[in-house]
Amino acid sequence: MTRTQQAVVQYATTPMGVELREVAVPEIGSADVLLRVGAVSVCGSDVHQAYGTHSWAVNIPVTLGHEFGGTIAARGREVTAFKEGDRVVSETAAVICGTCLMCRTGRYNLCPSRKGFGYNVDGAMAEYVKVPARCLHHVPDTLPFDLACLTEPHAVAYNAMCGNAQINPGDLVVVLGPGPIGLLCARIAALSGAHPLVVAGLAADAERLAAAKTLGATHTVNMQDQSLDEVVRDLSPIGADVVCDASGASRPLDAALKLVRPDGQVVKVGWSPDQVPVDLNPLVHKNVRLQGSFSHNYPIWERVIGLIAAGLTRAHLIVGLKANLAGWHDAFDAMHSGKVIKSVLIPETGNGK
Ligand SMILES: [Zn+2]
Ligand SMILES: [Zn+2]
């Protein structure tokens, strides 16, 4: 008889086509491990999928969740670098081709055949998840899973700010959008020496903007009652050295191109299904470097695990709610409404530690 488990499954792409279901515990292949999930954090993209506001294809039915860590319960016969009982976190590229230029040069996050946990391949909002061993990283015993699971969004932010953009100490950095990724981008910018560091949002983001201050922002701006342009020009009349668009919308690219100084950098990490016309003339006229940022790879994960374990990213400050799998709905809603920055799900069998 196949063993079954509880899982948070997206079964339709219409809004709220998600429910807690009883599904089979996955069978592993020779290069996989079976991971007992210790904790899985809810990503903005999980919330977008649940509310039907995502901009990527979803292969339904699929178990949600791509930000996770846990303990190895079983391993395939080819797996030698990890063993039963090891504490690990997992990268998100569940399937890659392994042979294209991107894969062969360690940039497998950009493999055209990449398939990710939680939208193409069953993810970790379950008691157990099947993971290829190549995705795994050990985590120190001192780092609990309810923080280790945040490695993935930290890696997104690290790649945006320290891979695709380069921040120098003293750079004026502006982050548009204080969602989880925007706040982590701000924290990584602060660690990189950004100063001043401006985080901008809307009136509804009041609590997130307050959190930005605790993460190192020197200025926060509610754009509905203050001009971001004026704040930035007061700090530096020529404009910002680096602007990060983490807003999850398309329109703010216009603002980013206006705020950036000549020969500055704009890095776009948020995306949305909206297609809007953008004035690209400042891009040329000011000789701006516009750079997209997607996902992350092995060396970024190793760096980020070290930063989180050392407490440098202040990861605990962004977690506002912890729930078991049955509490997924409240956990998603709390993020959707902006009540919390980040929710973490802890399966009964996982205990978060
Ligand atoms: Zn994520
Ligand atoms: Zn490839």
CA of 97 to the centre of ligand 2 (A): 4
**Ligand closest in space to the Cα of 115:** 2
Alpha carbon distance 56, 327 (integer Å): 25
Label residues 63-85 b or e (16+ Cβ within 10 Å = b).
Answer: bbbbbbbbbbbebeeebeebeee
Query: Which residues are placed with Cβ below 5 angstroms of ligand 1, an ion?
Result: 43
**Ligand closest in space to the Cα of 101:** 2
> What pLDDT is recorded for position 327?
97
CA of 131 to the centre of ligand 2 (A): 18
pLDDT in tens, the chain (353 residues): 689 999 999 999 888 899 999 999 999 999 999 999 999 999 988 998 999 877 778 889 999 999 999 999 999 999 999 999 999 999 999 999 999 999 999 999 999 999 999 999 999 999 999 999 999 999 999 999 999 999 999 999 999 999 999 999 999 999 999 999 999 999 999 999 999 999 999 999 999 999 999 999 999 999 999 999 999 999 999 999 999 999 977 788 999 999 999 999 999 998 877 888 889 999 999 999 999 999 999 999 999 999 999 999 999 999 999 999 999 999 999 999 889 999 999 998 766 67
**Which residue's structure tokens are 């809004």?**
15
CA of 44 to the centre of ligand 1 (A): 7
CA of 105 to the centre of ligand 2 (A): 9
Find the helix or strand (DSSP H, E) in which 191 lies.
helix 180-191
**Which residue's structure tokens are 């695990």?**
305
- The half-sphere exposure of 268 on its side-chain side, counting CA atoms within 13 A, is 17
> What pLDDT is recorded for position 195?
98
Cβ(351)–Cβ(38) under 8 Å?
Answer: yes
> What pLDDT is recorded for position 1?
63
CA of 66 to the centre of ligand 2 (A): 20
CA of 261 to the centre of ligand 1 (A): 30
The residues pairing with 175 across neighbouring beta strands, listed in sequence order, are: 199, 244
CA of 175 to the centre of ligand 2 (A): 31
CA of 294 to the centre of ligand 2 (A): 15
Residue of 97, 90, 136 whose CA lies nearest to 117: 90
CA of 150 to the centre of ligand 1 (A): 9
**Ligand closest in space to the Cα of 109:** 2
CA of 116 to the centre of ligand 2 (A): 13
CA of 127 to the centre of ligand 1 (A): 19
